[in-house]
Chains A and B, each alone.
Chain A
C-alpha cells in the first residue's frame, strides 16, 4: 500500500461496543418496565452502533486507523466493515422482532404473562450479544479476541435455548458445549501465537499481545509451532464459523433459536468468527503460502457438504442453516486464497450473505408468524395471501443462488475469478456445482411454499395474512440491498477495497 496510514486516537471503537453493553444492562435494570422501553432501548442502541460503524468507516476511508486505550482497540477498514454488518444486522433484527415476539408461542412456550416476564432477558441478551460481537471485531489484543468470541457464545447460549422445549434445550446444550470446546482450541492457538511472537525477541511482551504487532514477526516463528497454531485457530474459530466438519452445532442452533436470533446467528455471528479466523491466520500467509490450498480445500468441502445436506431438509429453518454452512465455504475460499481478489470476493460475499441470509430467515419467520408451520411439505400457495414475503423470499433465494444481476452473483463471480487467477480450476468447478445445487434447494423451496398447491390439513384451516409493517419493512430494505448491490457493485467498493488490502498477503 502506497498511501500513508494515520493512526488517530478515537473513542468511537470503545463506544461501538460500550453502547449496546450499557443498553443491555439498562434493559435488565428496567425489567419491571414496559415492552416499549426494552424494545426502544434495543432499537436505539443497535441503531447507534450501526451509525458508529458508518462513522468509523468514513474516517477509515480517509486513510485513518482508529485506536483506543493505547492500541488495545484498533479499527481499520476490515473492523469498520464488520461493525457496520453487526450494527446493521442488529438493528434490522431488532426492528423485525418488535412484533414477532408479541405473537404467542413464538418467543417461548409459556403463556403470555410468562413470555412478557422473560422479554427483558431476551432483549438484554440480544444487546450483550451485539456488544460482544462488536468487541471481538474492534479488539487488537489476541487473547481478548478469544475472550470476546467466547463471550458471544455465552451471551447467545440462552437465546438459542430461549424457547425452552426439548428441541431448544438440545440445541442449547450442544451449542454451549461444542462451541466452548472448539473455542478452547482457539485460546491455545492465541496463547501460543503470543508466546511465539514474544519469543522472537523482536517485540516486547506487552506488544506481542497486539495483533497489529504480531504480524511483523510472524515470519520468525518456527514452522512446526506455526503449523500447530494455525491448526488450533482453524479448529477453534472454524467451529464457531460453521466450517465443516466442525459445523454440527450450527443447524440445530440456527433453527431452534427464535427467528430474530437466527437472523443474528446466521447473518452476523458466523461472519464475526470468520473475521477472527482470517485476522489471525492471515498473518502466517506470507511465509506459508501453501496454507491457501488447505483453506480452499476446506472451503470447497464445506460448501458442498452444507448444500448437499440442505437438499434433504424439510424444515425451512434447518434448510437455511445448512445453506449458511455452504455459503461460509465460499467466504472461506475467498479469504483463504489470500490474494487481493480472493479477499475482496470473500469479504463481498460475507457482506452479501449477511444481507440475504438475514432476509431469508426473516421471510421464514414471517411464514411461521402467519401460519405457525415451518415444514416445506406442509406449506404451499402462500404467495396470494403474503405477496411481500413471497417476493422478498424469492429475491433472496435468487440472490443466494448467484442469479444475475443480484448481489450474490457479483461476489460469487469475484471468488470464481480469484480462484481461476490462482489456477485452482477444480475449485471453480466445485463452487459452480455447489451454486447450482443452492439454486435447486432455495428456488424449489420458494416455489413450493409460495406458489405450489396448498398441502396439509393445518394450512387449509388458517386465515393467512401478510405480516405487519414493522416486520416486512426490514425485509424490503434487505431485498432492496440485494438488488442495489447487484446492480451497483461499486457502491461498497471503497470500504471493501481497503478491507481486502488488510487481509491480502499473498501477491496482488
Chain B
C-alpha cells in the first residue's frame, strides 16, 4: 500500500490530542464534562479514520459508522442518562492526584512500550511503519486507560465511559491491523458497542431506581 498521501503530522497531532481527551474522560469528575471529553475523543477517532482513508477508501465507511455510533448515539445516551440530576461522579477508589499520576504513567509507559515492542502487536510490515506504528501505540494506550477507568471507578456511569474508551482503543487498532475488514464485520463490531452502552445504561437506570445510587460498591447483594 502506498502510504505517501498520508498526512503524518496531522495524524500524529490528532493521536496525541486523542490520548489527552481519553485521560480527561477518565479523570474529570463532573459527569457531563467527562461525557463531553468522551465525545471529543470520539470525534477525534472519526478524524483519524478520515485521515487514514486517504490510502484506504473503505475507511470512509468505517468513519461514517464510527461517527454515528461513537460520536452521536453513545454521547446522546450518556447525556440523556446523566441528565441534570447527578453532577459529580462518586469518589473513585483512588484519589484525584494519585489517579492523574497513574493515568499519566500508564499513558507514557504504555505508549513507549507498545511503540518500541511493535513487532508483537503488528504482524504486518505496513503496521510496523510510521504512522501505523503510532496508531497502534495510541490504540493500545487508549485501551489501557479504558481498562484503568473500569477497574478504579465506583460510579457505574464512569465504568461505562471506561468501557467505551476500551472499545475505542480496539476499534482504532483495526485501521492498522485489519485494513481489509469487510463492511458487514465493521458494522457488526460498531453496532454492538452502542447496543451494549444502551443496555448497560438501561440496567444502571434500574440500579439507580432500586438502590438509590449508581455506586457499584453498593451492589453487594450477591457475594459468594
A146 to chain B, nearest CB (A): 7
Q: Does B55 contact A (CB under 8 A)?
A: no
Alpha-carbon distance A193/B185, docked complex (angstroms): 15
Interface pair B192/A181, CB less than 8 Å apart: no
CB of B181 closer than 8 Å to a CB of A: yes
Check B120 against A224 for contact (C-beta < 8 Å). Answer: yes
**Interface majority SS on B: helix, strand, loop or mixed?**
helix
B211 CB contacts on chain A under 8 angstroms: 166, 169
Residue A206, interface by CB 8 Å: yes
State how many angstroms separate the Cβ of A317 from the closest Cβ of chain B: 11
CB-defined contacts of B121 to chain A, threshold 8 Å: 192, 225, 228
The CA-CA distance from A251 to B221 in the complex, in Å, is 13
Report A154 CB to chain B, min CB distance, Å: 5
A221 contacts B123, C-beta separation under 8 Å:
yes
Rounded to whole angstroms, the CA-CA distance of A181 and B192 in the bound complex is: 13
| Distance in Å: Cβ of B186 to nearest Cβ of chain A | 9
Contact A176 B185 (CB under 8 A): no
Contact with A along B208-223 (1 / 0, CB 8 A): 0011000010011110
- B28 contacts A by Cβ under 8 Å: no
**CB < 8 Å: which of A154, A165, A180, A225 contacts B210?**
A165
Name the B residues within 8 Å of A170 (CB-CB): 207, 219-222
Contact of B222 among A180, A228, A256 (CB under 8 A): A256
Given A191-B170, A192-B123, verify A177-B195 contact (CB < 8 Å).
Answer: no
| B200 and A199 form a contact (CB under 8 A) | no
Checking B163, B180, B189, B210 against A177 with a beta-carbon cut-off of 8 angstroms, the contacting residue is B163
B124 in contact with A198 (CB, 8 Å)? yes
Closest B residue to A173 using CB positions = B203
A504, CB-defined interface residue at 8 Å:
no
A-B contact count (CB 8 A): 129
A176 near B180 with CB under 8 A, answer: no
Secondary structure class of chain A's binding surface, majority of residues: helix
Residues of B within 8 A of A198 (CB): 124, 180
Task: Assess the A143–B156 pair: CB atoms within 8 A.
Answer: no
Q: Is B116 engaged at the interface, CB distance under 8 Å to the other chain?
A: no
Min distance, Cβ B90 to any Cβ of chain A, angstroms: 15
- A172 CB to closest chain B CB (Å) equals 5
Most buried by B among A143, A195, A251: A195
Residues of A within 8 A of B156 (CB): 173
* The stretch of B3-11, B60-68, B105-113, B171-179 that contacts the partner chain: B171-179
Pick from A146, A171, A184, A312: contact of B224, CB under 8 Å: A312
Chain B stretch 106-146: residues in CB contact (< 8 A) with chain A: 119-125, 127, 143
Measured CA separation A343–B188 after assembly (Å):
31
Tell me the A215-242 residues at the B interface (CB within 8 Å). 221-222, 224-225, 228
Q: Which of A143, A161, A191 sits near B206, CB closer than 8 Å?
A: A161
Quick one: which of A114-154 are within 8 Å of B by CB? 141, 143-144, 146-147, 150-151, 153-154
Assembled-state Cα–Cα distance A489/B178 (Å): 45
The contact of B119 among A174, A224, A309, by CB within 8 Å, is A224
- The interface residues of chain B lying within 8 Å CB-to-CB of A166 are 210-211, 221
Residue from A141, A169, A177, A184 in contact with B185 in the complex, judged by beta carbons closer than 8 Å: A141
Q: How far is the CA of A196 from the CA of B147 in the complex (A)?
A: 25
User: Chain B, 188-199, contact with A by CB distance < 8 Å: what is the 0/1 string?
Assistant: 110010011001
Q: Does B34 contact A (CB under 8 A)?
A: no
B159 within 8 A of A: yes
Q: Are A147 and B185 in contact (CB under 8 A)?
A: yes
Measured between beta carbons, the chain B residues less than 8 angstroms from A406 are none
Q: How far apart sit A184 and B147, CA to CA, in the bound complex (Å)?
A: 11
Cβ B124 vs Cβ A199 within 8 A = yes
Check: A103 CB closer than 8 A to any chain B CB.
no
CA A301 to CA B159, docked complex, whole Å:
29
Measured between C-beta atoms, what is the minimum distance from A218 to chain B in Å? Answer: 12
A169, B206: Cβ atoms under 8 Å? yes
Decide yes or no whether A157 CB sits under 8 A from chain B: yes
- Residue A466 interfacial (CB < 8 Å): no
> Residue of A at shortest CB range from B180?
A205
Q: Is A173 in contact with B178, judged by CB distance below 8 angstroms?
A: no
- What are the residues of chain A within 8 A of B170 when measuring CB–CB? 184, 187-188, 191
Q: Which residues of A contact B2 (CB under 8 A)?
A: none
Any A CB within 8 A of the CB of B150: yes
Asked if B124 and A195 make an inter-chain contact with CB atoms under 8 angstroms apart, the answer reads yes
A173–B200 CB distance below 8 A: yes
Q: Which of A144, A188, A256 interacts with B173 by CB under 8 Å? A: A188
Binding site for A on B (CB under 8 A): 119-125, 127, 143, 147, 150, 156, 159, 163, 166-167, 170, 173-174, 177-178, 180-182, 184-185, 188-189, 192, 195-196, 199-200, 202-204, 206-207, 210-211, 216, 219-222, 224
Known: A255-B222, A256-B222. 10 other contacts (CB 8 A): A144-B188, A147-B192, A166-B210, A169-B207, A170-B220, A180-B163, A181-B147, A181-B150, A222-B119, A225-B123
Between A and B, 24 residue pairs with Cβ closer than 8 Å are A143-B178, A143-B185, A144-B184, A144-B188, A147-B188, A150-B192, A153-B196, A157-B199, A164-B206, A164-B210, A169-B210, A170-B219, A170-B221, A173-B204, A180-B200, A181-B147, A187-B189, A188-B173, A191-B177, A199-B124, A209-B185, A224-B119, A225-B121, A228-B120
